[in-house]
Amino acid sequence: MRNNTITRGKGLLVALAMSLAASPHLAESELEKQVEAKPKLSAGADLSFATKYMLKGFTLSETPVFQPLLYVKYGPFTGAAFFNYDIKTATLNEADAFFDVTLPLKSISDKIVFSAGYNILTFPNTDLHTTHEVYGGLSYDMFGKPSIKVIRDISQGSGFYTELSVKHDIPLTKSTTLTANALVAHNHHLFREGSCFSHAAVGIAAPISLSKGFTFTPSINYQHSLNKDFQNEVWGGVTFSYTH
Output the pLDDT for position 8. 43
Output the pLDDT for position 128. 87
**pTM for this model (two decimals):** 0.84
Domain residue limits at 151 = 2-243
How many domains, in total, are found in the chain?
1
Query: What DSSP letter does each residue of the chain carry, written as one string?
Result: -HHHHHHHHHHHHHHHHHHHHHHHHHHHHHHHHHHHT---EEEEEEEEEESSEEETTEEEESS-EEEEEEEEEETTEEEEEEEEEETTTTEEEEEEEEEEEEEE-TTT-TTEEEEEEEEEEE-TTSSPPPEEEEEEEEEE-STT--EEEEEEE-SSS-SEEEEEEEEEEEE-SSSBEEEEEEEEEEEESSSSSSEEEEEEEEEEE--EEEETTEEEEEEEEEEEESSTTS--EEEEEEEEEEE-
Check which CATH number belongs to the domain holding 155 and give it: 2.40.160.40
pLDDT per residue as tens, the chain (244 positions): 444 434 444 444 444 445 555 556 666 665 666 655 667 899 999 999 999 999 999 999 999 999 999 999 999 999 999 999 999 999 999 999 999 999 998 888 889 999 999 999 999 999 989 999 999 999 999 999 999 999 999 999 999 999 999 999 998 887 788 999 999 999 999 999 999 999 999 999 999 988 889 999 999 999 999 999 999 999 999 999 999 8
